[in-house]
Chains A and B, each alone.
Chain A
Amino acid sequence: MRRIQHAFLDEYSDLDSVIHKLDPRAKLIGFVALVVLCVSTPPNLWLAFAVFLALEMTVLFISHVPLRHVLKRMLIVVPFILAVALFIPFFNKGGGSYNLGPLKVSAHGLTILWNVTIKSMVSVFAVILLSSTTPFPDLLHAMEKLKMPRIITTTLSFTYRYVFVLLDELQRMKRARDSRGWSGKWLWQAKVIGHMIGALFLRSYERGERVYAAMLSRGYDGQVQTAYTYRVGVAEIGFLALIVLVPIAVRLSF
Chain B
Amino acid sequence: MHIPDGFLNSGVSIATGVVAAGAIGIGMVKARDELDEKSVPLLALCTAFVFAAQMLNFPVAGGTSGHFLGAVLAVVLLGPWLGSLVIGLVLLVQCLGFADGGISALGANAFNMAVVGGIFGYYIFYLLKRLLPRDKKFFLLSAGGAAWLSVVLASGACAVELAISGTTPLSVTLPTMLGIHAVIGVGEAVITTLVLAIVLAARPDLIRSYDYGPRMYELDEAEVG
Contacts and interface: CB of A to CB of B under 8 A. Distances in A.
Interface of A: 8-10, 32, 35-36, 38-40, 73-74, 76-77, 80-81, 84-85, 87-88, 91-92, 112, 115-120, 122-124, 127-128, 130-131, 136, 139, 149, 151-152, 154-163, 165-167, 169-170, 184-187, 189-191, 193-202, 204-205, 207-209, 211-213, 215-217, 220-222
Interface residues of B, number: 74
* Secondary structure class of chain B's binding surface, majority of residues: helix
Contacts of B225: 216
Given A77-B4, A159-B93, A84 B44 contact: no
Interface string B13-24: 100000000000
Contacts of A117: 6
Given A127-B99, A139-B96, A197 B48 contact: no
Contacts of A208: 41-42, 44-46
Q: Taking chain A's interface residues, is the majority helix, strand, or loop, or is none over half, making it mixed?
A: helix
14 contacts: A39-B5, A80-B2, A84-B7, A116-B4, A127-B95, A127-B102, A154-B40, A159-B51, A187-B186, A187-B187, A201-B53, A201-B195, A204-B49, A221-B37
Interface in B165-198: 166-169, 172-173, 186-187, 190-191, 193-198
Given A35-B5, A116-B167, A131 B44 contact: no
Nearest to B60: A187
B48 A213 contact: no
Q: What 7 A-B pairs come out closest when comparing CB atoms?
A: A119-B6, A194-B194, A222-B37, A198-B198, A158-B44, A123-B5, A208-B45
B63 interface: yes
Contacts of B202: 202
Nearest to B100: A76
A156 B6 contact: no
A163 B53 CA distance: 10
B97 A195 contact: no
A205 B44 contact: no
B202 to A, nearest CB: 6
